[in-house]
Amino acid sequence: MRRPQDSHVRHERGIVRRPPSGSLAKTASQSFRLSKRARGNRALGQANERLPFIPPERWHEPAEDGRPYRFVIEPPGEGYRHVLEPDEVRQRLAELPAEFSSALEVIHFSRMTRKKQSFPCYGMQWGSALYLYPIEEGLIECYSMPPKPNQVNEAQMYGGRWVQTKSDEWQLIWTPASIKDFYLNNILIHELGHLLDDRNSRSVDRERYAEWFAVQFGYLPTQAARHAARRPVVRRHHK
């Protein structure tokens, strides 16, 4: 049985952690760790211990009955699209050691709402569930602040491009192939790393482990295919 741990929410503008002293006892959903992967320049937040716990999603009570994981699919929301299909997720997870998904019970394709647009995320892990968020239908994310160098580098690793379109506007542009690569080999594996991490308690340590896990089991094993897909086709002309 997995050990319940203190809940924490990684938002774009901060980290929501333990309820303040004197609050009511935690609910079952609050006793499980939660990790959230923010989008763009909102990904680098500062800790705020004074904020209350805010349930960000529908909670899936862990059954711990050994059954295979299941999918919960919501409509993506107007102007948004889901990046992956359930079969693509199944195939990617099947390429990993079986024990990696033994504690996984639910993969939830979440819906984008007006409230979530204020704190957009790519993915989240909460309890025994992984949540994958939809992206803009045109595959262009718009931001009012420039990206950090590491965010530019990460996008480039999977084929995404940051472009400054105005003095106060930056866009992160994807293709259908690059955004699938990013979700399958970064976001999905990153959140799975959070699910498997039962050693670290500090948010910074948990995030460092999930980033290592995503590179080790997501990015590196798929590098050959990625390079092959980007290699220009040279056509030979016969005389």
Q: What pLDDT score was predicted for residue 199?
A: 92
Q: What pLDDT score was predicted for residue 27?
A: 40
pLDDT at 7 over 50: no
pTM value is: 0.77
CA distance 162 to 182: 14
Copy the structure tokens of residue 129: 């569930």
CA distance 161 to 55: 33
Query: What's the whole-number mean pLDDT along residues 6-13?
Result: 32
pLDDT at 173 over 50: yes
Task: Please write the tens of the pLDDT for every residue from 55-105.
Answer: 568 889 898 888 999 999 999 999 999 999 999 999 999 999 999 999 999
Domain boundaries, the chain: 9-230
Q: Across all residues in the chain, what is the average pLDDT?
A: 79
Residue 166, Cβ density class (10 Å: 0-12 exposed, 13-18 middle, ≥19 buried): exposed
- What single DSSP character describes residue 98? G
CA distance 198 to 149: 30
CA distance 122 to 188: 9
Task: Please write the tens of the pLDDT for every residue from 19-52.
Answer: 223 323 334 444 455 565 556 544 433 333 343 4
Q: What pLDDT score was predicted for residue 34?
A: 53
Residue 191 banded pLDDT, cuts 50, 70, 90: very high
Copy the structure tokens of residue 226: 């990625």
Number of CB atoms found within 10 A of residue 70's CB: 13
Share of the chain above pLDDT 90, in %: 59
Min mean pLDDT across 1-15, 68-82, 96-110, 193-207 is at 1-15
CA atoms within 13 A on the CB side of 68: 6
Residue 134 banded pLDDT, cuts 50, 70, 90: very high
CA distance 44 to 60: 27
